[in-house]
Amino acid sequence: MSDAAFSIRQGAHAGEILMSGRLDASQCDAALAFLNAVKQPEVIDLAGLDYIASAGLRVILMTVKRCNAQGSGVRLINVCAPIYDIFHYAGFDQILDISRAAN
Amino acid sequence: MNSFLWARAPIALVPVMLFLIALVQGDSFKLVRLRTVLILLAVGAVAAGVSYAINAYAYEHFAGGFDAYSRFISPWIEECAKAVIMLYLIRTRRVGLLVDAAIAGFAIGTGFALVENLYYLASRPDTSLGVQVIRGFGTAIMHGGTTTLLAILSITLFERRPNGRWAVLLPGILAAVVLHSGFNWLLVKPALAALAMLLVLPFAIYLVFRHSERTLRNWLDADLDSKARLLELVNSGTFLDSPVGRVLNSLRDRFQGEDLADMLCLLRLHGELAMRAKGVLLLRESGMADLPLDDETRDKLAELAQLERSIGTTGMLALRPLMMATGKDIWQLRLLSR
């Protein structure tokens, strides 16, 4: 697991968001503020994310809740195996549209 | 119920009910459901009935006057009646954190106070409005507060000693009785007693609440992390090279191979279920609906119970340092099966 700094940015199109590094408690406010500023997030690409803490899961859940309330959905894509396992063990794979990164 | 009672009852009942509602609403993790609160109110009311019967009998055989009885005897009877319910909730892991213990405690105390105040109103219709205000703001809040204090102290001790029996309740009962008795002493100046309760208890409970939520968030972070690491080690096949794996390996002299295999399975399963429970807490905190208990989780809970039986008490004791089985760790699995 690398110790890359957390980064969140816009992807190729308006609804695409790219996350990388470590999403821990210290980064959550910034991450949530960024996500809230995106009117209608469609895809969150977690390919570069190598760590997520419970505070990070909270950010994802709050974004999903907002999108669900808007009637749109948000997909989590390219989730690496260790982080996918966290979503799975927490039971979130049952309510989130989530797909693993290709090996 | 006559019209007098209808008119006066809200004064005696509403303040404590509002405080209870504020506590339930203030819990970000929604640990105590409305149904549970209603049940606890009812059970608290039953405790008031039981206390009334015991008090009636004890007072008849008490040599001293009413003041002495209300300061030295009735607080013990009433706080013990409420403590029995709290003990049941703690021992069966129906509460496991300061927040849910505090809400449960206040709900029990509120149920108790509702019956006591209604009885008081019905049996003394000539009581002045001032006394009823004092009963509503003072006595009722006091009953909620003493049981909350009992709950907070007991759950804190239980967290440190998950297998503790009655002993974990004693400091809480003592503190509740002292507070209750102190309130009854102050009743020579009832307005002062009510004011003291109103100023001190709600504020103290609010502070405990905030502290508990912070602690819960820190625990969520730390434990989610450690369980994720444990599962990563087990799944990658490198568990036995880790510090925890080496501790498990060191048990070879005392346990047979199949027992050690069961222990490893149990560690893994416990880690998976602990993460699932944290998922439930995170969903509630985010205001999302709970996931229904799926077959996979139900099977895992059944398998965990089976493994615990197979490993036996000695094996479980040997595993305890590896599982960090504090009161919270045990409680969170109960959260899943509710």
Contacts of A25 in chain B (CB under 8 A): 221
B285 touches chain A (CB under 8 A): yes
Of all residues in chain B, what percent carry a pLDDT higher than 70? 96
- Which pLDDT value is given to residue B171? 94
Instruction: Note the pLDDT of residue B40.
Output: 98
Is residue B55 pLDDT above 80, yes or no?
yes
Q: In the prediction, which pLDDT does B326 show?
A: 66
B283/A54 Cβ within 8 A: no
pLDDT for the residue B49:
97
- The token duo for B279 is 């998922």
* Residue of B113 and B289 predicted with greater confidence: B113
Strand ranges, E, within chain A: 7-10, 16-23, 43-52, 75-79, 97-100
Residue B282: which of A25, A57, A82 has the nearest Cβ?
Answer: A57
Partner A contacted by B278 (CB < 8 A)? yes
B286: nearest CA in chain A?
A: A62
Please state, rounded to an integer, the average pLDDT across all residues of chain A: 91
Q: Which alpha helices (DSSP H) does B140-189 contain, by range?
A: 140-160, 170-186
Chain B CB within 8 Å of residue A92 CB? yes
User: Which tens digits make up the pLDDT trace of B128-149?
Assistant: 888 888 888 889 999 999 999 9
Helix (H, G, I), strand (E, B) or coil at A87: helix
B235 touches chain A (CB under 8 A): yes
Tell me how close the Cα of A15 comes to any Cα of chain B, in angstroms.
22
Determine which of A21-25, B23-27, B191-195, B280-284 has the lowest per-residue pLDDT on average.
Answer: B191-195
Sort strands A7-10 and A16-23 into parallel, antiparallel or unpaired.
Answer: antiparallel
Least confident of B7-11, B103-107, B237-241: B7-11
Can you say whether the dihedral through the CA atoms of B18, B23, B29, B31 is positive or negative? negative
Instruction: Dig out the tokens for B177 from the structure.
Output: 């009785």
Q: What does the alpha-carbon distance between residue B210 and residue B235 come to, in Å, rounded to a whole number?
A: 37
> Is residue A2 predicted with pLDDT exceeding 50?
no
Which phi and psi (to 5°) does residue A80 adopt?
Answer: -70, 160
Per DSSP, the three-state class of B256 is coil
A82 Cβ under 8 Å from any chain B Cβ: yes
Q: Please state the domain extents for chain B.
A: 3-214, 237-337
Residues sharing a CB contact under 8 Å with residue B186, sequence separation 6 or more, in sequence order: B192, B193, B196
Of B221, B227, B231, the CB nearest to A53: B221
Across the interface, do B228 and A85 touch by the CB < 8 Å criterion?
A: yes
Q: What number is the average pLDDT over the span B271-284? A: 92
Cβ pair B276:A58 closer than 8 A: no
> Is A24 in a helix, a strand, or coil?
coil
Q: What ipTM was estimated for this complex?
A: 0.89
Confidence of residue A1 (pLDDT cuts 50, 70, 90): very low
Tokens representing B225? 């992390």
A17 close to A45: Cβ distance less than 8 angstroms = yes
**Domain-wise residue ranges, chain A:** 7-100
The CATH number of the domain covering residues in A7-100 = 3.30.750.24
Tens of pLDDT, residues B159-180:
887 766 778 889 999 999 999 9
Q: Hey, what's the torsion of the CAs at B274, B276, B281, B286, to 10 degrees? A: 150
Lowest mean pLDDT among A71-85, B225-239, B289-303, B315-329: B315-329
Instruction: Give the closest of B272, B275, B294 to A94, CB-based.
Output: B294
Q: Count A/B contacts: CB-CB distance under 8 Å.
A: 62
Neighbours of B63 (CB within 10 A): 6
In this structure, the strands spanning A75-79 and A43-52 are parallel
Say yes or no: B237 contacts chain A, CB-CB below 8 A. no
Indicate whether B1 pLDDT > 70: no
Q: Say what angle helices B257-285 and A54-70 make with each other, to 10 degrees.
A: 50
Q: Return contacts of B153-157, CB within 8 angstroms, 24+ apart.
A: B154/B83, B154/B86, B154/B87, B154/B90, B154/B101, B155/B90, B155/B95, B155/B96, B155/B97, B155/B98, B155/B101, B155/B327, B156/B98
Predicted model pTM = 0.83
